[in-house]
Structure 1
Amino acid sequence: FNAHNDFLNSQNELFTSQNKIMEQMTQLTSMCEMLCQIIQEKQKEMRIEEEQAAKARYWKIPAWCDDDDDYDSTITPVLSTEEPVNSLSMGDEHLDIILATESHDVIKSSVEDLVLIPG
């Protein structure tokens, strides 16, 4: 009777161990599936980012455009030899017609204000 009881106990322990192993395998399998999903999502995100970056390269507006080689950009100034009608220039008029009285009065008053320092 003891031998039969020992046999049943060991079979029971074996089944219990098998059940635990099966549960752990199920957990490992589900963890692997979750990890695979995460990796696939990351790969998809990276593909989308790469596609967007590739499209952005083609649609990027250039910061500057060097098209000077296509045109002659030399500008020749046109200088007139004639005096403009509304010019402020006095031309060839003599400067001695300007009244010097105001500046003469200022100079005269400044000289009168000087204090003679005996030497």
Structure 2
Amino acid sequence: MAINSGSIRAMTLVIVIMSSVLVTAQVHAALTCNQVYDALKPCISYVLKPNGSVPKACCDGISGLVKKAATTEDRRMACSCLNSAAKSAGRNVDLGPISSIPDKCNLSIPFKISANADCSKVN
């Protein structure tokens, strides 16, 4: 099978389109689960013993996470990461304190922290 100039142009166009899609996907998927988990590590002590106030480092971590989640895709990623973490925690961990943290930190996040949040509806 001979390769003609039309085939070369078509393959070049496909490569350019695929490269654009990959670059766009990388730009939109800026937030990773590791970043989400790192931001929330200071909250673990409060979740395990929800007495008193939420540690400042926990509130700062959530505040930073909200700032990093600048796009809908980032917010959906953060939601999915939190859902996965909540599901993996199992039934032995009371998730009630987790969902109250944003209010106690005087922060607003665009979704409820739970194992059952519908992340596809997060904007």
TM-score where L is the length of structure 2: 0.29
Larger RCO of the pair (alpha carbons < 8 Å, separation 6+): 2
Question: Larger radius of gyration, structure 1 or 2?
Answer: 1
